[in-house]
Amino acid sequence: EKDGYDYFMLKEIAEQPKAVADTLLGRIDASGTLSLDEVRIPASVLREVNKIVIVACGTAFHAGMIAKYAIEHWTRIPCETELASEFRYRDPILDERTLVVAISQSGETMDTLMALRHAREQGARVLAICNTNGSTIPRESDAVLYTHAGPEVAVASTKAFLTQLVACYLVALYLGQVRGTKWGDEIGSVVRELSEIAVQVEQVLGTMEPVRELARSLADKNTVLFLGRHVGYPVAMEGALKLKELAYMHAEGFAAGELKHGPIALIEQDLPVVVVVPSPRGRSVLHDKIVSNIQEIRARGARTIVIAEEGDETVVPYADHLVRIPATPTLLQPLVATVPLQVFACELATARGNEVDQPRNLAKSVTVE
């Protein structure tokens, strides 16, 4: 069943272009209009939504963090993303105009299930984004948008994450379409770019050999840090989570702007730091800020592993290792920027002799609170 791959994780990483394409299939028509009829929440109800709350755990939580940026940008509806395990215990403010989005690959995660039950008790509507047909979370939600990643066997989530992102973008763009926000024009062009993203994921997969080589060379390190800004921040957190669970290494993802507020004290000679660089086009101020962050850490001895868009030459002088990803709009960049981090963690785990598909102490679906 591993189709010739050594691990399910490798197979699932390779399946990502198809998983992404399948999740888009039938949801965008030829004119670039989204049709999410399967989301049985009427447009009239969606127009009344005044707050969105996303609940999820682990990797799905990182997808939700990225969704917040997209939803607020395209819909102008206030959105917060919260760890499902924290949500219910702080008496969150919810009512009939709140849309709660519960993201879960398995559909059985107890923390997420308890959070959505609590939300429905308060009158909120719940939309599930889920990869498992007929599982408990979609059954107990008002509506569901299925991700079509296919079965994910490896404990570490990869293709499910990418499809969760696609589903989140679809929800954000659909809400923008239904409500007609000032970003109307942008929505059409983003939908087009999203339709092409599977090809770009495929391109990234074709250039991963240097990343694997780099990972093997770091097998005796104790710590790796990850930095990002904007949507690159949750990508950094996801890169760190993959490394913790697979390589059993100390890894942390930071918002690059927070460096100077503490974490920069961790930088020492030869410490590997992965930096996710946003596109220099569009919101270029973000890009320039992160380039100075790279300079700051490098001046203090960090070994910089820079993930940057093709054609971005400004990072070249400060990158000890440069990983190129295709040009995408910043909000969509996580779909291509996450892939090298998955490959990196998988290869490091292998180099350290770890069991890639079954990391110690972890289960594929966590059905206890």
Instruction: State the catalytic residues.
Output: 364
Say whether residue 106 binds ligand F6R (CB under 6 A).
yes
Count, residues near ligand F6R per rule CB under 6 A: 15
Q: Give Cα 303 to chain centroid, integer Å.
A: 25
Say whether residue 157 binds ligand F6R (CB under 6 A).
yes
Residue number, 68 or 287, with CB nearest to ligand F6R: 68
Say whether residue 60 binds ligand F6R (CB under 6 A).
yes
Q: Which two tokens stand for residue 295?
A: 């300079």
Q: Say if CB 179 and CB 52 are below 8 A apart.
A: no
Say whether residue 366 binds ligand F6R (CB under 6 A).
yes
DSSP string, 296-316: HHHHTT-EEEEEEETT--TTG
Spatial distance between the Cα atoms of 135 and 156, rounded to a whole number of angstroms: 19
User: Cβ of residue 130: shortest distance to ligand F6R, in angstroms?
Assistant: 8
Spatial distance between the Cα atoms of 215 and 218, rounded to a whole number of angstroms: 5
Residues in CB range of 291: below 8 A, 6 or more apart: 277, 314, 315, 318
Pick from 164, 170, 213: which is nearest to 350 by CA?
A: 213
Residue length, the chain? 369
Q: Which two tokens stand for residue 324?
A: 């190129």
Q: Which two tokens stand for residue 104?
A: 């879960």
Say whether residue 16 binds ligand F6R (CB under 6 A).
no
Say whether residue 135 binds ligand F6R (CB under 6 A).
no
Q: Which residues pair with 144 in a beta bridge?
A: 128
User: Cβ of residue 60: shortest distance to ligand F6R, in angstroms?
Assistant: 4
Spatial distance between the Cα atoms of 135 and 128, rounded to a whole number of angstroms: 11
Say whether residue 57 binds ligand F6R (CB under 6 A).
yes
Say whether residue 147 binds ligand F6R (CB under 6 A).
no
Pick from 53, 8, 66: which is nearest to 238 by CA?
A: 66
Say whether residue 136 binds ligand F6R (CB under 6 A).
no
Q: Which of 17, 20, 24, 59 binds ligand F6R (CB under 6 A)?
A: 59
Residue number, 203 or 365, with CB nearest to ligand F6R: 365
Residues in CB range of 181: below 8 A, 6 or more apart: 74, 75, 76
Spatial distance between the Cα atoms of 331 and 285, rounded to a whole number of angstroms: 15
Residue number, 134 or 262, with CB nearest to ligand F6R: 134
* Interface region with ligand F6R, contact rule CB under 6 A, candidates 100-108, 183-191, 224-232, 347-355: 100-108
- CB-based closest residue to ligand F6R: 58
Spatial distance between the Cα atoms of 46 and 180, rounded to a whole number of angstroms: 12
Say whether residue 181 binds ligand F6R (CB under 6 A).
no
Residues 230-259 close enough to bind ligand F6R by CB under 6 A: 241, 245
User: Cβ of residue 253: shortest distance to ligand F6R, in angstroms?
Assistant: 13
Q: Which of 58, 176, 280, 326 binds ligand F6R (CB under 6 A)?
A: 58
Say whether residue 342 binds ligand F6R (CB under 6 A).
no
Query: In degrees, to the nearest 5, what angle opens at C-alpha 181 toward C-alphas 176 and 187?
Result: 55
Residues 78-97 close enough to bind ligand F6R by CB under 6 A: none
* Interface region with ligand F6R, contact rule CB under 6 A, candidates 7-15, 52-60, 200-208, 227-235: 52-60
The contact set with ligand F6R (CB under 6 A) reads 57-60, 104-106, 109, 112, 156-157, 241, 245, 365-366
